[in-house]
Amino acid sequence: MSLGTEVAVPPALSVRYGRTSAGRAWLSSLPDLVHGRLQHWELAVDLEPGAFPWHGHGGMVIPVRRRDGALAALKIAFPHDEAKAERHALSLWGGSGAVRLLDSDAGTCAMLLERLDPGYSLQTVPLPEAASVWGGLMRKLSLVPGDEPGWQEFDHIAGRAEQWSDDLPADWEQQGRPFPRWLLEAALEVCQVRGAVGRRSGRDVLVHTDFHYLNVLARPRSAVRSGTAGPDTTEFVAIDPQPMIGEPEFAVAPLLWNRLQELPRSNPAGGLRQRCGDFSDAAGLDADVARQWAVAREVENALWYASRPGHRGDLARSLWVSSTLAGRTLDGLPAAHDLPEPGQSGS
């Protein structure tokens, strides 16, 4: 699909959103939506001829130039609850630890953002250095809820845990009990404890719930403000927050189900637990609470994958991570280094 003569929808997005009527309607609306935002914000597309814009799972990002020639990025997201809350989180962070929001349009889930370097993420940074960078960003992003507009737009993590207490057993039965009951019960225990205690803990903050390595990008060196970093210092910031309110340890889990190939071959289970501790320590978090949340999140992920054909590799990965963190790696799973990265699973 072409968006006028300048922008084409990435094929992966066309395939993903062409499967439902809502997705097809959104794809059909994109040419007018993009044209409208370009006109309204006086933007010029900054793509090589024939090149596709950048994209993630839930939308695309078009490099643009503003009227004064400044670099920016136009993000167009498929309208869903997480996308609708994103602009509020970015506004509260104000460019400190997260991509800077320049403008937004609530009706179209469109945002004008500062331009980052899409080719330089935390994915390629060695893990010890990545832990330090991630921990520093986590401290910046962990805002305590206040009275500013936007806070009422975020769901609560403890409430999500209470919902899982009802949904996970039903999903486990519906999917034919795809893993042992003890692992389900381990996740339910987390939900019952954190769902109840979390609301009374007094530790609630704004949480980036999809805070993995690819969602941390570098600011171009020319954009690093004078005096805040040395000439050879890279400044990383977070993108795509999927924001919620709750215990900050909830954010650690995505770091544990990515980059499994880098776990020590001699003891991958110990390496996974060590990684949980390293990233938690770097952010000043409780490593055991982070481990608990990761068990619950990965069991929920496993049940989602079990319900969809073509995700056997993803299912195996979620079961390996969740059962390992729960203390008893399930038998019959591939070795950690044979598990696919998210988005790379075969059927």
pLDDT digits (tens, 9 = 90+) for 73-89: 999 988 877 778 999 99
Same domain, 83 and 174: no
pTM: 0.91
Q: Is residue 258 part of a domain?
A: yes
Residues 29-49 pLDDT 10s: 888 899 999 999 999 999 888
Secondary structure element (H or E) that encloses residue 114, with its range: strand 110-114
Largest Cα separation within the chain, whole Å, is 60
Q: Is residue 334 part of a domain?
A: yes
- Residue the block writes with tokens 């630890």: 97
Q: How many structural domains are present in the chain?
A: 2
Alpha-carbon span 90 to 77, nearest angstrom: 15
Neighbouring residues of 269: CB distance < 8 A, sequence distance ≥ 6: 324, 329, 336
The mean pLDDT value for 19-37 works out to 89
Q: Is residue 175 part of a domain?
A: yes
Same domain, 23 and 61: yes
**Domain finish residue from 114, 135, 169:** 114
**Domain finish residue from 89, 114, 139:** 114
Return the number of other C-beta atoms located less than 10 Å from residue 343's C-beta. 11
Same domain, 252 and 148: yes
Same domain, 158 and 243: yes
Same domain, 298 and 156: yes
Residues 133-165 pLDDT 10s: 999 999 999 999 998 888 999 999 999 999 999
Alpha-carbon span 240 to 118, nearest angstrom: 13
CA geometry: angle at 17 spanning 79 and 52, to 5°? Answer: 95
The mean pLDDT value for 104-124 works out to 93
| Cβ proximity of 116 and 106 under 8 Å | no
Which residues constitute the domain of residue 57? 2-114
Q: Is residue 34 part of a domain?
A: yes
Same domain, 30 and 138: no
Q: Is residue 219 part of a domain?
A: yes
Residues 253-299 pLDDT 10s: 999 999 999 999 999 999 999 999 999 999 999 999 999 999 999 99
Q: Is residue 32 part of a domain?
A: yes
Q: Is residue 347 part of a domain?
A: no
